[in-house]
Amino acid sequence: MLGHAKRKFHEAWQANKKNQEAKKCEDYISKLFALEKRADEKGLTDEARLEMRKEDSAKLVTSFYDFLEDLSTRTLPQSLLGKAITYAKNQREYLTTFLEDPRIQLSNNLAEQSIRPFVIGRNNWLFSASPRGASSSALIYSIIQTAISNDLKPYHYLNHIFEEIQLNEELQVVDLLPWSDKIPGECKK
């Protein structure tokens, strides 16, 4: 969600490049992303990442929100910057959740990208012959997206699943899950 906030401040700055305060807000968020990038590059454990967030990221977040409080008193609420400030202040609880859990990403872009094809295609699926057909379509879509998220080739993975279901009577479903060690190499990217 921090990506959304950053984008709003960037749009406010693009609309009026004389407004360096919008750029400063964007820079605060960019610094948070830079800290996360460094943590990734260092290969920090969850514990070390949480410690880094509590020491470094939390200070940046506090400074950012202190700056927003001051800035909001001298910014028109209906301006792009005013709307960005309102968004960041209203979403504070959600934008700062990452400070409490090292597994939480600063941006939800990955989740949004994974559902994008579904959102785009939903008009095409309005005409499923039945609710059961729509349910089946959603189920297959979910399996495909999970396979992609686990670095599998969807076509090969689905073929493997269908063959195993057909040929193996003593099949354990857990062996067919995308993260199973029993998935053959030809299914992997």
Domain that holds residue 174: 109-187
Q: What confidence tens digit (pLDDT) does each residue in 14-54 have?
A: 999 888 999 999 999 999 999 999 999 999 999 999 999 99
Neighbours of 160 (CB within 10 A): 19
Please report whether residue 150 resides in a domain: yes
Whether the model clears a pTM of 0.85, i.e. scores above it, the answer is no
Domain count, the chain: 2
Same structural domain, 7 and 43:
yes
Q: Using alpha carbons, list the distances in angstroms from residue 84 to 55, 60, 145.
A: 26, 18, 32
Task: Check residue 116 and give its pLDDT.
Answer: 73
* 55 and 12 within one domain: yes
Same domain, 67 and 129: no
Answer yes or no: do 76 and 8 share one domain.
yes
Dig out the tokens for 177 from the structure.
Answer: 């899950």
What is the per-residue pLDDT for 171?
85
The reply to whether 94 and 9 lie within a common domain is yes
- Residue 52 within a domain: yes
How far apart CA 61 and CA 64 sit, in angstroms, is 5
Length of the chain: 189
Check whether residue 91 and residue 119 sit in a common domain: no
Q: Is 104 domain-assigned?
A: no
| Domain-located, residue 34 | yes
Give me the residue label for tokens 């590059």. Answer: 41
In a domain, 74, yes or no: yes
Specify whether 55 is located in the same domain as 124. no
Please tell me what DSSP assigns to residue 125.
Answer: T
Q: What are the angstrom distances between the C-alpha of 70 and each of 27, 66, 67, 128, 188? A: 17, 6, 5, 53, 52
Same domain, 21 and 78: yes
> Do 79 and 136 fall within a single domain?
no
Among 99, 132, 150, the domain-final residue is 99
pLDDT score, position 164: 92
Residue 17 lies in a domain: yes
Residue where a domain stops, chosen among 67, 99, 131: 99
Burial (Cβ within 10 Å: 0-12, 13-18, ≥19) of residue 84: buried
Residues 177 and 116 occupy one common structural domain:
yes
Distance between CA atoms of residues 152 and 189, nearest Å: 5
User: What would the 3-class secondary structure string for 73-119 be?
Assistant: CCCCCCCHHHHHHHHHHHCHHHHCHHHCCCCCCCCCHHHHHHHHHHH
Mark whether 142 and 95 lie in a shared domain. no
CA distance 13 to 26: 9
Residues 160 and 139 in one domain: yes
Signed CA dihedral, 111, 50, 39, 177: sign only: negative
Residue numbers in the chain where pLDDT is lower than 70: 109-112, 114-115, 118-127
Q: Are 85 and 75 in contact (CB under 8 A)?
A: yes
